[in-house]
A = this chain, B = another copy of it.
Amino acid sequence: MRTLILSGVVMFLAVTAIVAQQAPAPAGGGRGRGGGAPPGINWPSPPLADGPLMIDTGLVRPIKIAITKGLRQPWSMAFVPDAAGGFATLVTERGGKLRIIRNGVLDPTPIDGLPADIQASGLAGLMDIQLHPKFADNKLVYITYHKRQAGAAPAAPPAGQGRGAPAPPGVITLVRGRWDGTKLVDVKDIFTAIPSGNASRILFLRDGTLVMSVGYGDPPQANDGNPNPETMPPQDPKELAGKTLRLKDDGTVPADNPFVGKAGYRPEIYTLGHRNILGLAINPVTGAVWSVENGPNGGDEVNELMPGRNYGWPVVGNGRFYLGPRVSVDPFRQNMEPPVAFWVPAIAPSGLAFYTGDRFPQWKNNLFVGGMRQGEVPRSGHLERFDFNDKWEELHREGMLRELQQRIRDVRQAPDGALYLLTAEDNGALLRIEPGS
């Protein structure tokens, strides 16, 4: 393996001719589509170098990035012990495969044991993966996925046979299985949420229960005749859409959930008023649940999730419909939780991790968020780092790895103290980040 030394500036001079060929010129003028929305900007992410790469960041110079390629739209990862006393990385691919990487090498054979009825379409499919907190003893693995509805045809017709009628959206489902060292066994759906094209992340809390997000999208774009945002699903306590749920590790409802026994409320609900949560993490100091949520056009949020609280979507927020009007007239209301941090313009955040290891003392307790934004040239996918004061108020955020022009889907701290990223690309990769000196 040859190490490329790139001093923070970088870049892929060797591949630019290829990139230029791949990127068609955009069509037409600035307001060509639908009388209002701007045209899409078509610019594929350039191929990654093989690595390892050495690049500078604001505080750590350089970092070393080892790259494992061959993943197709990787979505989430979990770390399982391997036979040698180290660990291997399980990676979900949205299309419906579970892969394993050992010592930086992707096993060409997917892991057996996933549910057979994963419906991969749009942004849906195989989603998050998490280990039970007592995984060392019970080997339990939890996965969220979109389950094909009974009787529905497979979503992706064979090539050349046309699209047919669109399949109904898959049902966001929590499945539990057991890792036997080479595959998943005893796989069983333990909770069924709702049909949805949006995402679902999961996170175990310190009390052994888990939080599961159920995404909801946008209300209709027209301003006139909209349904009242205050009665839409994310605000409706009888619905699971646009919520986080709290469940026991067998998928049942804990007796101490905030709305248990309250008429008109689903007892699974932990928090209300979310759009599409794409990252969950435990604050290592306070123990609080933090989340990151995609806004519409602007208004991406980091939130601290407190049981029973309402986070406002789509009643309050800082985003806009893609045709221009604000989604919410008010950026905040007294009875709705303001974000810990937000982004305007959007970065399309996905993946969330606090760094708690010893390998990057400069990053201790910093928060990392992946960015998947498209529509800019060069591509604006990157990794965002937050530094907070002792009250968890934001001090600074640093956009990192913009040189790579890769959309970042997931961020995890591995058992070895390295920071692991997954790129949200068809030709996706695992990036393993450690200090470069």
Contacts and interface: CB of A to CB of B under 8 A. Distances in A.
Interface of A: 6-13, 15-17, 19-20, 23, 25-26, 28-31, 36-39, 41, 43, 46, 56-59, 61, 297-298, 318, 320, 322-326, 330-332, 341-345, 361-366, 375-378, 380, 387-391, 393-400, 402-403, 405
Given A10-B12, A395-B38, A389 B30 contact: no
B325 A38 contact: no
Contact of A37 (B25, B344, B395, B402): B395
A26 B58 CA distance: 8
B9 A405 contact: yes
A388 B322 CA distance: 11
Given A38-B387, A331-B332, A393 B324 contact: yes
Nearest to A298: B394
Given A6-B16, A31-B387, A377-B57, A395 B36 contact: yes
A44 B378 CA distance: 21
Copies of this chain assembled into the complex: 2
B387 A399 contact: no
Nearest to A384: B345
A41 B399 CA distance: 12
A11 B10 contact: yes
A296 to B, nearest CB: 12
Given A324-B388, A324-B389, 14 more contacts: A7-B20, A8-B377, A9-B19, A10-B16, A11-B13, A26-B61, A28-B362, A30-B59, A30-B365, A30-B366, A38-B396, A297-B395, A324-B394, A380-B399
Nearest to A320: B394
Given A23-B61, A58-B377, A390 B36 contact: yes
Contacts of A343: 344-345
A272 B391 CA distance: 32
Nearest to A32: B362
Given A9-B405, A389-B36, A389-B323, A375 B395 contact: no
Given A16-B6, A344-B343, A366-B30, A378 B403 contact: yes
A375 B385 CA distance: 12
**Which secondary structure dominates chain A's binding surface?**
loop
B11 A17 contact: no
Contacts of A43: 8, 56, 58
Given A9-B46, A324-B394, A364-B29, A56 B23 contact: yes
A26 B61 CA distance: 9
B376 A323 contact: no
Contact of A398 (B41, B297, B342, B361): B41
B398 A375 contact: yes
B363 A30 contact: yes
13 contacts: A8-B19, A9-B19, A10-B11, A10-B12, A10-B16, A29-B362, A29-B364, A31-B389, A38-B395, A58-B376, A324-B388, A325-B393, A343-B344
Contacts of A387: 30-31, 38
Contacts of A20: 7-8, 56
